[in-house]
């Protein structure tokens, strides 16, 4: 059995409560490591 989880925090941008609490400086390290 496989369980897949999709994180929509960055996709939903301003509509997401998480996105309003994250600064760009907090997001950049994760974006760089996802390359």
Residue 20 has a pLDDT of 64
CA 19 to each of CA 1, 14, 32, 33, 35: distance values in angstroms, whole numbers, following the listed order: 31, 6, 18, 19, 20
Find the angle CA(29)-CA(17)-CA(34) to the nearest 5 degrees: 25
Give the chain's length.
35
Answer yes or no: is pLDDT of 26 > 60: yes
Region 13-28: mean pLDDT is 69
Mean pLDDT, rounded, of the chain: 73
């Amino acid at each position: 059995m496989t369980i897949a989880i999709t994180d929509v925090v960055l996709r939903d941008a301003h509509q997401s409560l998480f996105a309003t609490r994250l600064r760009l400086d907090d997001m950049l390290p994760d974006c760089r490591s996802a390359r």
